Amino acid sequence: MPVREGCRRIGAALLLAVLLVLSAGCTGAEQSGGGTGPGPDDAGYRTVVDSRCVEVQVPAKVERVVTVSDGLVESTMLVLGEEEKIVGVGSSCLQRVFNYTYPTVGGESYEYRDGMNPVTYLSPGIRDLTRVGESGAAINYETLAGLDPDVVILRVGSCTLRSMDDEGVQKAIRTIEALGIPVVVLKAHPCFDEPDLSTISDEIRIIGSVFGKEEKAGGLADYLESTTRMVVERTKDIPDAGRPTVLIFGASPTSRKAGGAGNVKGTNTVESYFIEEIVHAKNAYRNTGSPTISAEQLLALDPDIIVLGTANGYHPPVELYSAPYYQNVDELSAIKNRRVSSFPWEPCNCAKRLEYPIDVMVIAK
């Protein structure tokens, strides 16, 4: 079969359109997160209140930034016109190009090539930056200190730094602070019991406060949220009986090696929030978490619609329709009715980034 690149190109094109349009806080509960204190003081510093509700003193003119994020920080800096200040990154996902080949029943293969993080597609220079860490691995503090950053911006809840409860994450924050480097910590939506769009918007606004661009960052957050309101307005009056069941399914080879069919997104995930609160459909999986399920469990769920996530690669509908390892679930209604769609490939999408309106549109469509 021919190489299929459409979803990647569409995803990058839509994000580029968002960026082009845009280029022309902790005062309440901690969950809402983020904000700023006064402007630059006489000593030339700015107070930034991060997602921990910690006041961080950063230089009024930040010139060198190390990011530990899977794309949210970097793409926001791109919108703000600050991307040239990134001197180091903490995620290999930002610098890799991904290729995948899937077998089909007829002996042919489906090939997907040149997949990459959308911000890397838009800002190729990211691939040449010094990397201070790997996804799921410890940060190289010597390398980080050698870059002499004015500030380090960490996003917890991403694939690189999974949880605020992780001692390794806490150690990373303490160690960087001990080096005398300001650390601004963002808490992504997986850090919250009931995630929604406000958590992503808070992160964007905190990043804006680092560079004294609160207004532009606020405009970005508001614009992204406004793109989903159209979906809300169009779907809010669908009667309960008319709402289809939707399953976000990760056709992960890791899950299959463990004996499962793939993984799913439960009711306490932002994907479930997209399905139920924005699109006004029903999440087919009614438990919490993001577990691996068996083929038997998948058949028992029998969702009306399946949307394939980006678990360990890009997964096109043809994989679920034709791959030999999914022939045992070909009685699913979504397969028989050809109601399987895919999110565009967004590497290391443990926490949503600026592309999240695209995911909402895919589910809604």
Looking at 199, 227, 255, the residue that finishes a domain is 227
Pair (248, 220) in one structural domain: no
What is the maximum span of the chain, computed from C-alpha positions, in angstroms?
71
Q: Are residues 312 and 187 in the same domain?
A: no
If asked whether residues 55 and 114 sit together in one domain, one would say: yes
Whole-number pLDDT of residue 3: 34
187 and 314 housed in the same domain:
no
Domain boundary among 192, 227, 262: 227
Strands 98-103 and 109-115: what pairing?
A: antiparallel
Q: Are 12 and 314 in contact (CB under 8 A)?
A: no
Structurally, the chain folds into a number of domains equal to 2
- pTM assigned to the model: 0.88
Residue-number span of the structural domain to which 265 is assigned: 237-364
pLDDT at 142: 96
- Label the pairing between strands 340-342 and 305-308: parallel
CATH number at residue 343: 3.40.50.1980
Q: Within a domain: residue 250?
A: yes
In a domain, 70, yes or no: yes
pLDDT beneath 50: ranges in the chain: 1-25, 27-36, 38
223 with 245, same domain?
no
pLDDT tens per residue across span 146-164:
999 999 999 999 988 989 9
Distance, in Å, from the CA atom of 71 to the CA atom of 94, rounded to the nearest integer, reads 7
Residues in the chain: 365
Three-state SS for 265? coil
Is 86 part of any domain?
Answer: yes
118 near 13, Cβ under 8 Å?
A: no
Helix (H, G, I), strand (E, B) or coil at 102: strand
Residues 253 and 195 in one domain: no
Identify whether residues 212 and 289 lie together within a single domain: no
Residue 49 is inside which H or E element, if any?
strand 45-49
Whether residue 1 is contained in a domain is answered as no
Residue 232 maps to a domain: no
**Same domain as 292, residue 218:** no
Select from 204, 227, 250 the last residue of a domain: 227
Tell whether 218 is covered by a domain. yes
Please check whether residue 181 lies inside any domain of the structure.
Answer: yes
> At 281, is the secondary structure helix, strand, or coil?
coil
Pair 215, 257 in one domain: no
User: How many Å apart are CA 319 and CA 253, to the nearest integer?
Assistant: 12
Report the pLDDT value the prediction gives residue 237, as an integer from 0 to 100: 96
Both structure tokens of 180: 């005398």
In this structure, is residue 205 part of a structural domain? yes
Let me know whether 177 and 258 are in one domain.
no
Same domain for 92 and 135: yes
Exposure b/e, 249-269, CB count within 10 A at least 16 = b: bbbbeebbeeebbbbbbbbbb
Kindly state the helix (H) or strand (E) to which residue 79 belongs, with its residue range: helix 72-80
Pairing of strands 55-59, 109-115: unpaired
- How far is it, in rounded angstroms, from Cα 312 to Cα 327? 20
Residue 104 has what pLDDT? 83
Give yes or no: residues 296 and 203 share one domain: no
